[in-house]
Chains A and B, each alone.
Chain A
Amino acid sequence: MMRLSSDSTRQVRSLRPAHSITLARTLHPGAWWVWAIGLAAGASRLTNPIGCLLLLAVAGFVVSARRSRAPWAYAFGGFLKLALLIIVIRIVLQALLSTESQGVHTIVVLPQIPLPSGAAGLKLGGVVTWEAVITAFDQGLQLATIICCIGAANALASAQRLLRCLPGALYEVGVAGVVAMTFAPQLVADAVRVRSALRLRGYDGRSVAAVRRSAMPVLEGALARSVDLAAAMDSRGYGRTTVDRRATRMATAGLVIGGVVGICAGTYGLLGSAGSGWMGLPTLGLGCALAVVGLVVGGRRTGRSRYRPDPWALPEWLVAGSGVAAAVILFLLAHAHPGAAVPPYPLQMPEVPPLLLVGALVGVLPAFLAPPPPDRVVDKGRPR
């Protein structure tokens, strides 16, 4: 008896398996999203191309190291291509539409198309300078980096899984989001199928008339499917256990909406460079508090239960923490070395203070601190 009790005390002290960073499991999607948003927020303060490339490389490395085998895990490649496209579009737009004078180092003089006086300050064509193109590249790269950070979150934890973690009060919103996200790709697939079927009627599939013609079957198909889905959800008990009291519902809605407005205003105050940073924090805090109260109140009205909710344990703290740390360091950098965060001379090699390296490299830690996704370990154990 004595030994038994001492055993059990030891067990109580030992770590819950969820805290292990080597035991394979899927990480809480929220952790990946916090990490990614941290990196993206950091990138929002950098037009330093080296800094942005660092963040891109960090995101790419973590994705390669920790993604699963699910179909969405291959999303990152698509986002990289999108990033490239953004940079190209940005440069082309800048070259074509840039203002009267941007910099002094001319690359090429395009024929300029005169515009009516209403478009004063805009020009089409004309002088294209190195300054304009490189500034455009830097800004394009910044946007591309932000998008790739979000892409990384998508590859590591699909947005659908994130929606599943929404608090009970937002359950309906979550379901609507999930349904919409399954529908969009199906709609695309349908459109592709119907468009290719246009050939069967002898159309080329590219003309406007043909596209208009194919819209009908696609939309009708989507409608039919949504009716099927609604029937399936209804017959599986959707909405059955919701205790619906009008007062609670109104209170929840008011609190959550107020909270969201507060959070938006606060975030804008913090991130925006409008100089009103001091009022950002209190508004953000108030918004968060309102939202939390709303969610708690709203969460009480549901009688739903949750199957195997993802735990939030040590690895989640580490991953989310690394994203937050990266954001904080990069914000500090922007404050301490404005010239390094936003290089003033587009034609000069940008400055790289050690702080920039540290900030970016903090973001790579999840590649080692997050537990590996489960399906990979199964693969290793399987004889080939």
Chain B
Amino acid sequence: MIEFVDVSVTYDGAAAPVLAGVDLQVPEGELCLVVGPTGSGKSTLLRCVNGLVPHFTGGRLTGTVTVAGRSTRDHHPRDLADVVGFVGQEPLAGFVTEGVEEELAYAMESLGVSPPVMRRRVEETLDLLGLTELRGRPLATLSGGQAQRVAIGSVLTAQPRVLVLDEPTSALDPQAAEEVLATLQRLVHDLALTVVLAEHRLERVVQYADRLVVLPGDGAPVRVGPPTELMAASPVAPPVVELGRLVGWSPLPLSVRDARRAARGLRRRLADNPEAATAAGPAATVAATGPVEEPLAQVRHVVVRYGAVPALRGASLDVRPGDVVALMGRNGAGKSTLLKALVGLVEPASGDVRVGDLRPARSKPSTVVKVVGLVPQEPTDILYADSVGAECAAADREAAAEPGSCLALVRRVAGDVPLDRHPRDLSEGQRLALALAVVLTAAPRLMLLDEPTRGLDYGAKRRLVTTLRGLADAGHAVVLASHDVELVAEVATRVVVLADGDVVADGPTAQVVTASPMFAPQVAKILAPGPWLTVTQVAAALPAETPTMRRFSRRVAAEVTFRRGGDPTAEDAP
């Protein structure tokens, strides 16, 4: 169905090709997963399938890409619209019309499909994707998962034989991601559609994949094959695979179900050593801070309204120094609003927010930033300069910090970042690091992060975890809103679950997270009822036997070094 023969892509002005010598064949009816670190060319590969590369993006493509017998060399993306359906990262950005039905019909109108056929196909697609309830809704009122399903539907009506999706679930909460993935599953199984998709959150999709394309980045050759084989050596891997590699399971399990079957022996071995879980887990920091300190921030019965719609209905929260609090809950539960209230971007209609002895919404922004800092969902919202160097210099000036302190922070979080690069051209991880450093330059004791892991690969996430733990150990407090259960399990000391603007659960991570299958990380699901949440904990509990295990123990050691103020990147550089 899809055939790449010796494909290389070089963008204009780039020194090295993004993709080099890719050979790939995807037969009909397969779900093909493209994985790799940020910047390894996943999006480029996907865009080659329908000819957006190079017809739309420019650059130079050598070799041939053939889809259903049509070569992208002489077919533009619009000529492939009836063969390849392409869904980009931001569904809202790709919508052309304003209503669900019209959006579904748009591609068919362009292709000149006759009205009765259009009518029939729209009805079929509404049923297939479960969109019947939404048919009359304006697109602007859809939730993330609904919008993503409409975006899929809008390309399906042209009846393509291949569906290409670029990170379809990265912006979605776990429930909405389930919805979308279940839809994709159905399309593959019922319609024998060929699906090619890129995704960072492998734990969500890897078990559904028939074929894996691993782009290691840095010019290393692309590997294609069955997931079980390739996962063994992939530079990015979900926790279930990490655990399998650590223990040396073969065949490597990809789903929680398979891993749990294989883990019977492991559970028994770990049961002998339960205290290791607390020793290596995030809870360790709580124990270290000793007696309960005065809260750094207090939120009392806060109500926040947008117009008539309440976003928070009386939520309360205490944050103490050394806490890493994770706010979880579905989209629209009030997580972002709570963060905004803490930093004073929204003023509560009633209730009280205090950070130290400051009421953030009533205080001057320049004093607030010295006490509490927020990294917003879009880090670029707080980046204004045209290069990393200028941004850092501005941050130093604003915070009256010593010149170079911001840059030092950037280097500590993200390693070496080119100073003359525009913030928009950085990778997601580097951009987040820059925003984090800019906010940290003012040295706030309370650090807030809104969805920090959107679009981050595993390496960047690991560095983020190390940084946040380091901050907590240094007496800062961190509050982060996240859908990423694996990240939360790694870093949070406490989890607060919000629903409908209210706190419905608040407690130590291990308790809250294991209580609900929705919020449980993969390791917890595999090793339940044990107290294990992360692979790091398991590695610490097992005597070092295999090379992979040694790498894990090294990482634990590196984190300890970092907490003492050392440089973790020296150890962690892959």
Contacts and interface: CB of A to CB of B under 8 A. Distances in A.
Chain A directly contacts chain B within the complex, with at least one CB pair under 8 Å:
yes
A194 interface: yes
Interface string A222-237: 0011001111111111
Nearest to A26: B136
Interface in A144-167: 158, 160-161, 164
B77 interface: yes
A197 B381 contact: yes
B81 A237 contact: yes
19 contacts: A71-B138, A178-B97, A193-B381, A200-B373, A200-B374, A200-B376, A200-B381, A201-B384, A202-B368, A202-B398, A213-B384, A229-B96, A232-B88, A233-B94, A234-B56, A234-B76, A235-B78, A236-B155, A306-B115
A305 interface: yes
Given A241-B112, A304-B110, A228 B158 contact: no
B520 to A, nearest CB: 33
B229 interface: no
Contacts of B138: 70-72
Given A199-B344, A236-B107, A238-B78, A158 B115 contact: no
A85 to B, nearest CB: 20
Interface in B351-368: 364-366, 368
Q: Which 3 A-B pairs have the closest CB atoms?
A: A232-B94, A237-B81, A307-B105
B86 A235 contact: yes
Interface in B90-116: 90, 93-98, 101-102, 105-115
Contacts of B368: 199, 202
Contacts of B401: none
Given A241-B110, A307-B119, A182 B98 contact: yes
B50 interface: yes
A216 B387 CA distance: 13
Interface in B154-197: 154-155, 158
Contacts of A193: 378, 381
A77 interface: no
A7 interface: no
Contact of B77 (A199, A204, A205, A234): A234
Given A203-B365, A217-B380, A305-B112, A239 B438 contact: no
Interface of A: 70-72, 158, 160-161, 164, 175, 178-179, 182, 193-194, 196-205, 213-214, 216-217, 220-221, 224-225, 228-241, 303-308, 374-375
A90 to B, nearest CB: 30
Nearest to A216: B384
B78 A307 contact: no
Interface string B423-440: 010000000000000110
A72 B155 CA distance: 26
A220 B380 contact: yes
Q: Which of A179, A238, A374 has the most CB of B within 10 A?
A: A238
Given A71-B138, A182-B98, A234 B52 contact: yes
Contacts of A238: 78, 96, 110
A307 B98 contact: no
Contact of B110 (A200, A225, A236): A236
B112 A303 contact: yes
Nearest to B344: A199
B5 interface: no
B526 interface: no
Contacts of A164: 97, 102
A241 B82 CA distance: 12
B115 A217 contact: no
A234 B106 CA distance: 12
Given A201-B369, A236-B106, A375 B52 contact: no
B141 interface: yes
A70 to B, nearest CB: 5
A68 to B, nearest CB: 9
A233 B47 CA distance: 14
Interface string B372-411: 0110101011111010000000010011000000000000
Contacts of B96: 175, 178-179, 229, 232-233, 236, 238
A303 B78 CA distance: 14
Contacts of A198: 365
B126 interface: no
A201 B382 contact: yes
Contact of B88 (A72, A160, A175, A231): A231
B291 to A, nearest CB: 33
Contact of B140 (A71, A201, A221, A304): A71
A217 B391 CA distance: 13
Contacts of A308: 101, 105, 115, 118-119
Interface residues of B, number: 72
A228 B88 CA distance: 8
Nearest to A378: B136
Contacts of B373: 200
A200 B50 contact: no
Contacts of A200: 343, 345, 365, 369, 373-374, 376, 381-382, 439
Contact of B94 (A221, A228, A303): A228
A217 B112 CA distance: 39
Contacts of B55: 234
Nearest to B90: A228
B380 A199 contact: no
B232 interface: no
B297 interface: no
Contacts of B479: none
B153 to A, nearest CB: 12
Q: Which of B84, B140, B399 has the most CB of A within 10 A?
A: B140
B206 interface: no
A308 B105 CA distance: 9
A228 B94 CA distance: 6
A236 B113 CA distance: 13
B110 A240 contact: yes
B33 interface: no
A228 B57 CA distance: 11
A237 B88 contact: no
A304 B109 contact: yes
Contacts of B82: 237
Contacts of B380: 217, 220-221
Contacts of A306: 109, 115
A229 B103 CA distance: 13
B311 interface: no
B9 interface: no
Contacts of A225: 90, 93
B249 to A, nearest CB: 41
A313 B102 CA distance: 21
Contacts of A161: 98
A230 B55 CA distance: 12
Given A182-B95, A235-B84, 12 more contacts: A158-B98, A199-B344, A203-B366, A235-B78, A235-B86, A236-B107, A238-B78, A240-B78, A241-B112, A305-B108, A307-B109, A308-B118
Nearest to A223: B424
Nearest to B97: A178
Nearest to B50: A235
B102 A307 contact: yes
A218 to B, nearest CB: 9
Contact of A307 (B50, B115, B374): B115
Contacts of B106: 236
Nearest to A73: B138
A49 to B, nearest CB: 33
Contacts of A303: 112
B79 interface: yes
A178 B98 contact: yes
Contacts of A194: 381
Nearest to B373: A200
B93 A237 contact: no
B442 interface: yes
B122 interface: yes
Interface in B51-92: 52, 55-56, 76-82, 84-86, 88-90
